[in-house]
Amino acid sequence: MRLSFISCPRNVLLAALLLLAAPVLYGQSLQSVTAERCLRGDCLNGEGTMEFDTPWGKGRYVGEFLDGEFHGQGRLEIPVSFVSEEIYTGEWNRGLREGRGKHWNGRGNLYIGQWNDNKRHGIGTYVFNLPEWRENENTEFWFKDNTENYTGDFVNDHYHGQGTYRWANGTKFIGGFFASEKHGHGTFYYETGTARQQLWNFGDFVR
């Protein structure tokens, strides 16, 4: 099923602006760092452990470095409050998340999938409203079938392309998305399994 676009120049412009303005939350969390130190290993060109001071406690990066930047495989933990922390584990390229990785924002949202230039970009699963997250406790497939989540195409931190949005009660929409809004043709599935074909225009229901 290919995405059908409906002519609406104003909405297209707004959607394009949304795509360009996608936030980079990881960069914001690192802005809280007040000091850093290499605890062990080679934090310049090799594998090592770097510790950070923040207003909410200590964070750390464990993994590979190139020219002093996170590069290769690594895990970053940064406090976002006195009781929670942001975690990214996966691939890095010159200090940016790039490749495949898992990101827990410390506030109930989890992303598992592809990254490019520090943004969710490619194929992934974005899970909402988790009370907590324990790494390796549940698989990506479990999250897809048991939580509120979006699974599918991402562009510049937005749902964009073909995907599935599943609500916590089991209802779901499978179809097209544009700048995180339902757009084009899709199918809505009720809890009973009944399916209804739908048409959306940049987040507005058409029929």
What domains are there in the chain, each with its CATH number? Answer: 1-22+108-207 (2.20.110), 23-107 (no CATH)
Q: Is the pLDDT of residue 12 over 80?
A: no
DSSP 8-state assignment for residue 16: H
Q: How far apart are CA 188 and CA 186, in angstroms?
A: 7
The residue-averaged pLDDT of 93-105 equals: 97
Q: How far apart are CA 74 and CA 90, in angstroms?
A: 6
Q: What share of the chain is helix, strand, coil (3-state, %, to 5)?
A: 10, 55, 35
pLDDT at 15: 46
What's at 55, amino acid-wise?
P
pLDDT at 6: 38
pLDDT at 28: 57
- Are 163 and 173 in contact, with CB atoms under 8 Å apart? no
Question: pTM for this structure?
Answer: 0.84
| Residue spans of alpha helices (H) in 48-193 | 140-146
Q: What angle do CA 17, 112, 173 make, to 5 degrees?
A: 65
pLDDT at 27: 56
pLDDT at 134: 86
Other CB atoms closer than 10 Å to residue 102's CB: what's the count? Answer: 19
**Digit-coded pLDDT (tens) for 121-167:** 999 999 999 988 888 888 888 999 999 999 999 999 999 999 999 99
Residue 204 pLDDT class (50, 70, 90 cuts): very high
